[in-house]
Homo-oligomer: A and B are copies of this chain.
Amino acid sequence: MLRLSKLTDYAVVVMARLALDGAGPAGHVQTAPGLASATGIAEPTVAKVLKMLGSAGLVEGVRGARGGYRLTRPLPSVPLSQVIVAVDGPIALTACVDGGVGSCEAEGICAVRGRWDPVNDAIRKALSGITVADLAGPAHCPAVRATASLAPMLAE
């Protein structure tokens, strides 16, 4: 199966929750513990995801007491591919990341490989066309649906 890390899933959920308080300097910050209890994800895990999203510039962390996180951009303008790259690293199906022609140390083994570049490109393209808002819409699972007024906000 084509696998995507769970952390990416968490990232989308956390970002959806962050969207409730707006994006940019005007938005209110939410703490990691607060997001954890709101989403049901364990607190250390939420913190980890937020750090990764912060490094990628998708969320902004405010340090110190009364600190927290907020989105830097509204969800509809965040392509899913950026979240995946932030959490999972470069989007590529094989270890041989495309472009690195001389990067095959063990050439005898590398001899085996096909050329996956067109596939990587196709997938990247597909993921760029989807925004986080597309995923964060009204969920079919009970508890997320219970977080209520999420959908209208994401429609923005």
Interface residue ranges, A against B (CB under 8 Å): 1-4, 6, 9-10, 12-13, 16, 39-41, 80, 84, 88-94, 101, 104, 107-116, 118-119, 122-123, 125-127, 129-130, 134-137, 139-144, 146
29 CB contacts below 8 A, A to B, read A1-B89, A1-B91, A2-B3, A2-B4, A2-B91, A2-B92, A4-B93, A4-B94, A10-B112, A13-B112, A13-B114, A40-B108, A41-B112, A101-B140, A107-B142, A107-B143, A111-B142, A111-B143, A111-B144, A114-B136, A114-B144, A115-B135, A115-B136, A118-B130, A119-B127, A119-B130, A122-B126, A122-B127, A123-B126
